[in-house]
Structure 1
Amino acid sequence: MKRSQILIVVAAIVLVAVLFFLPKVVVNNEDKDNLAENQTTAAVPEGHSEDDGHDHGASAEEAGVEAHRTATPEQLMALTTARAKYNKATGEQSRSRVAVELAEAYANAAKYDSAGYYYEIAAKARGGEKSYKKAGDAYYEAFTFAATQERASELGGKARSMYEQVLKNNPSDHDAKTNVAMTYIATSNPMQGIMMLREVLASDPNNEKALFNLGILSIQSNQYENAVERFEKLVSVNPQHVEGTFYLAVALAETGQNERAKELFNKVKGMSADPALNASVDEYLAKLQ
């Protein structure tokens, strides 16, 4: 799966950089991972072409305009060419092959829901774990940019349906399972997502993605001691995990461990050239002086 784009959101209290689509939650103090309440966070959408010939449920303003604003002329030309080939293709085999080309063109232009739509067409025609994984990954990317709860629900459901086909054949695909878990976090049944993340860690205690997501959920619910535990484990597994190091510093600062937090914030500045992330680090360091 492609690495999700980093979305930096300066929060009123913790001023943290948010990676992936993540909900705000309240965690039961008696169980560090139990989820009692769910509220999703919205990000700027990257939609699909408004003339791609299918309806994903988003308005032209929400989906098409932003997509055309961010796509380069070269990407739009590739989309036009691939779409023309798809429209001319005859026969299921030929059409499914060109559907993959069109999906790739949409993915390259960051129009992930449209990419998912055409990857799904190819997957249903061809079958196979890899085909469904591509469709699931594209829908999951679109899910992370959902602008509304309704859109997140729609795209999350699409991603889950594709990943279910993957997990039928390969239940040990932890990346697919973790993504499914995060789509459940944004539903009325978030505990199902928490349980799935736990299952991933039970099978693979060093799984970075599951550790990261559980750590973020703890931070967003103000369970900072639990977050420290998750991120300590994460950075022990991968000392170069920039976001894990940042959030460990956040959690340490929120638990009063200021000197170690400062040390890690300064370490992050040496690890990342991202200006937004470094701005958040500087703001946090200023508060710790």
Structure 2
Amino acid sequence: MFALPKVIIDKETGAALSGATATANRDKAAGEATDEHEGHLHNSDGSEASAAHTKASPEALGKLKSLLADYRKAGDDANKVKLAEQIAAQYTAIAKFDSAGYYYEQVAAARPGEKNYQKAADQYFEAFSFAATEERTKELGQKAQGLYNKVLQNNPANLDAKTNLAMTYIAAGEQPMQGIQLLREVITTNPNNEKALFNLGILSIQSGQYDKAVERFQHLVEVNPKHVQGNFYLAVSLAEIGKKEEARQVFTAAKKLDDNPEYQSSIDTELEKLK
């Protein structure tokens, strides 16, 4: 089966975190642009989600190193915030999401508000989704939770923040029911919310409730017929409840939605099982 997401979040409809008092692991991008901020947890050995991380160009590393040097020397608060935003953007571009979250968090500390809190939370959430260990998942999840709660304090109607917050509770395994309740609140507010439908569908698969998964994914592909993962998991769920011909039809149609070789291979494997 095409691998179930480690953190149940759909990147199509849009998918870090370190404690402020944690001991810093220094971020060395190809041995350059060393970032020494406290609370930084990015793995310097590249072991974590290496496939998802881009390789920074020498130009990008040089620019980042220069920005970090300017940031450390900056005395003016306004200039420091501006530099923090630029550094965060650079880290985002090279997929160092926890570092990006840290600097966006500095911006939010200086300029509190829904949008700035969410920028930081979203980057931490990206890093959380790639966390390679239980300890790191917990640390990043807690950081994201704190920031998403601040987003919701500013705007309780922010469904994207509520959905991501829910997934940190579920994926970290400490408060799964609280996360499920939040997803249900999102669906109650917006029955067509793609992220919530997708995540509830995946949760149904993981708990072996394939009939409920079919309902969620059918609804999702009605809302967005081109939802790649939604179509794939709808077919998987149909196959699991014995509706093989329907599953075959959905798999066949889903092959046209994404030419990614891994995705194509996964569908071919599933189709072979249906023979």
Mark yes or no: TM-score above 0.5. Answer: yes
Band the TM-score falls in, shorter-chain normalisation: 0.7 to 0.9
Q: In structure 2, which of residues 224, 227, 240 is the aligned counterpart of residue 238 of structure 1? A: 224
User: Contact 1:234–1:244 (CA<8 Å) still a contact in 2?
Assistant: yes
Contact 2:49 2:132 in 1 (8 A): no
- In structure 1, the residue corresponding to 2:191 is in which secondary structure? coil
Aligned-residue offset at 1:72: 2.8
The aligned residue for residue 96 of structure 1 is: 81
Structure 1 pair 59/272, CA: closer, same or farther in 2 (3 Å)?
Answer: closer
Aligned partner of 1:72 among 51, 57, 63 = 57
Match of 1:52 among 35, 44, 68: 35
Q: Answer yes or no: is the 8 Å Cα contact 2:141–2:168 preserved in 1.
A: yes
Kept after mapping to 1: 8 A contact 2:26/2:41: no
- Structure-1-length-normalised TM-score: 0.82
What residue identity is the alignment partner of 2:40? H
Corresponding residue for residue 265 of structure 1: 251
Distance 2:49 2:247 in 1: 42
Contact 2:71 2:84 in 1 (8 A): yes
Unaligned stretches of 5+ in structure 2? Answer: 10-24, 29-33
Match of 1:188 among 166, 174, 177: 174
The answer to whether the Cα contact below 8 Å between 1:20 and 1:144 also exists between their aligned partners in 2 is yes
Contact 2:48 2:130 (C-alpha < 8 Å) held by counterparts: no
Give the drift of 1:73: 2.4
How far apart, CA to CA, are the structure 1 residues paired with 2:191 and 2:85?
Answer: 35
SS in 2 for 1:70: coil
Equivalents in 2 of 1:63, 1:105: separation in Å? 21
Q: Partner residue of 1:39?
A: none
Task: Tell me the C-alpha RMSD between the 2 structures.
Answer: 2.2
Name the CA shift for 1:176/1:212 in 2 (closer, same or farther; >3 Å): same
**C-alpha displacement at 1:94, in angstroms?**
1.2
Asked if 2 retains the 8 angstrom alpha-carbon contact of 1:48 and 1:111, the reply is no
Alpha-carbon distance, 1:187 to partner:
3.0
Corresponding position of 1:252: 238
Work out the CA distance in 1 between the residues paired with 2:43 and 2:194.
Answer: 36
Q: Is the 8 A contact 1:249 1:261 kept in 2?
A: yes
In the TM superposition, what are the counterparts of 1:141-220 in structure 2 within 5 Å?
141-185=126-170, 186-220=172-206
User: What is the number of residues matched between the two proteins?
Assistant: 252
Cα displacement (A) at 1:65: 11
Distance verdict in 2 for CA 1:206–1:187, change over 3 Å: same
> For residue 61 of structure 1, what is the aligned residue in structure 2?
45
1:84 aligns with 2:69: yes
Does residue 128 of structure 1 match 2:110?
A: no
- Give the partner amino acid of 1:132: Y
Deviation at 1:64, TM superposition (A): 9.2
Task: State whether residues 16 and 250 of structure 1, in contact with CA within 8 Å, keep that contact through their aligned partners in structure 2.
Answer: no
Query: Secondary structure in 2 aligned to 1:271?
Result: coil
Q: Deviations over 1:12-35 (max 9, x none)?
A: xxx124346239xxxxxxxxxxxx
Distance (Å, rounded) in 2 between the aligned partners of 1:156 and 1:192: 14
Distance in 1, Cα, partners of 2:62 & 2:260: 30
Shift of 1:48: 7.6
Q: Percent of aligned positions with the same letter in both sequences?
A: 52
Aligned partner letter, 1:146: A
Instruction: Report runs of 4+ in structure 1 exceeding 4 Å deviation.
Output: 62-69
Aligned partner (choices 257, 263, 266) of residue 280 of structure 1: 266
